[in-house]
Structure 1
Amino acid sequence: MRALLPLLSVGRGWRVGAAARAPRRVMSLYRTEERGRPHSEDYRLFFKNVDGHYISPFHDIPLEVDSKKIATEEPLNPIKQDAKNGKLRYVPNVFPHKGYIWNYGAFPQTWEDPFQKDKNTSCCGDNDPIDVCEIGSKVCSRGDVIHVKVLGILALIDEGATDWKVIAINVNDPEAEKFHDIDDVKKLKPGYLEATVSWLRLYKVPDGKPENKFAFNGEFKDKAFALEVVNHTHECWKTMIMKKCDHGAINCTNVQMCDSPFHCTPEEARSLVESVPTSSVIKESNIEEERWHFLN
Structure 2
Amino acid sequence: MSFAVEERGNQNSLNYRLFFKNAEGKYISPFHDIPIFADESQNIFHMVVEVPRWTNAKMEIATKDLLNPIKQDVKKDKVRYVANVFPHKGYIWNYGAIPQTWEDPAHKDTDTGCCGDNDPIDVCEIGCKVCSSGDVIKVKVLGILAMIDEDETDWKVIAINVEDPEAKHLNTIADVRRLKPGLLDATVSWFRKYKLPDGKPENRFAFNDEFKDKDFAIEVINNTHNSWKDLISQQAGAGGLNCKNTCVSSADSPNRCTAEDAEAAVSQTCPCGKEEPIPSSVDEWFYV
Q: What TM-score do the two structures reach when normalised by structure 1?
A: 0.89
Higher mean displacement: 256-265 or 153-162: 256-265
Secondary structure in 1 matching 2:37? coil
Structure 1 CA distance, aligned partners of 2:222 and 2:284?
39
Aligned pairs for 1:63-78 within 5 A? 63-65=36-38, 66=46, 67-78=58-69
Quote how far apart the aligned CAs of 1:91 are. Answer: 1.1
Quote how far apart the aligned CAs of 1:118 are. Answer: 1.0
- Aligned match for 1:286, one of 266, 269, 279: 279
Residue 265 (structure 2) pairs with residue 272 (structure 1):
yes
**Runs of 5+ in structure 1 lacking a partner?**
1-25
Secondary structure in 1 matching 2:191? helix
Paired AA for residue 64 in structure 1? F
Quote how far apart the aligned CAs of 1:157 are. Answer: 0.3
Quote how far apart the aligned CAs of 1:87 are. Answer: 2.2
Structure 2 CA distance, aligned partners of 1:293 and 1:101?
16
Paired AA for residue 91 in structure 1? V
Match of 2:230 in 1: 239
Paired AA for residue 247 in structure 2? Q
- Aligned match for 2:83, one of 68, 81, 92: 92
Aligned pairs for 1:164-243 within 5 A? 164-243=155-234
Quote how far apart the aligned CAs of 1:229 are. Answer: 0.1
Residue 119 (structure 2) pairs with residue 128 (structure 1):
yes
Residue 20 (structure 2) pairs with residue 47 (structure 1):
yes
Contact 1:111 1:236 in 2 (8 A): yes
Contact 2:20 2:69 in 1 (8 A): yes
Secondary structure in 2 matching 1:264? coil
Secondary structure in 2 matching 1:108? coil
Aligned pairs for 1:247-266 within 5 A? 247-257=238-248, 258-259=250-251, 260-266=253-259
Structure 2 CA distance, aligned partners of 1:248 and 1:203?
27
Structure 2 CA distance, aligned partners of 1:100 and 1:162?
20
More strand by share: 2
Q: Which ranges of 4 or more aligned residues in structure 1 deviate by more than 6 Å?
A: none
Contact 1:45 1:143 in 2 (8 A): yes
Paired AA for residue 51 in structure 1? E
Aligned pairs for 1:123-162 within 5 A? 123-162=114-153
Match of 1:22 in 2: none
Contact 2:12 2:275 in 1 (8 A): no
Secondary structure in 1 matching 2:146? strand
- Aligned pair count? 268
Structure 1 CA distance, aligned partners of 2:281 and 2:139?
31
Structure 2 CA distance, aligned partners of 1:282 and 1:88?
13
Residue 25 (structure 2) pairs with residue 34 (structure 1):
no
Secondary structure in 2 matching 1:184? helix
Structure 2 CA distance, aligned partners of 1:175 and 1:70?
28
Paired AA for residue 260 in structure 2? E
Contact 1:240 1:247 in 2 (8 A): yes
Secondary structure in 2 matching 1:111? coil
Quote how far apart the aligned CAs of 1:239 are. Answer: 0.3
Contact 2:193 2:203 in 1 (8 A): yes
Structure 2 CA distance, aligned partners of 1:210 and 1:88?
21
Quote how far apart the aligned CAs of 1:282 are. Answer: 2.9
Secondary structure in 1 matching 2:231? helix
Quote how far apart the aligned CAs of 1:291 are. Answer: 1.4
Structure 2 CA distance, aligned partners of 1:173 and 1:206?
33
Match of 2:104 in 1: 113
Structure 2 CA distance, aligned partners of 1:172 and 1:288?
35
Secondary structure in 2 matching 1:200? helix
Quote how far apart the aligned CAs of 1:184 are. Answer: 0.3
Secondary structure in 2 matching 1:227? helix
Secondary structure in 1 matching 2:157? strand
**Runs of 5+ in structure 2 lacking a partner?**
39-45, 47-57
Identity of aligned residues (%): 60
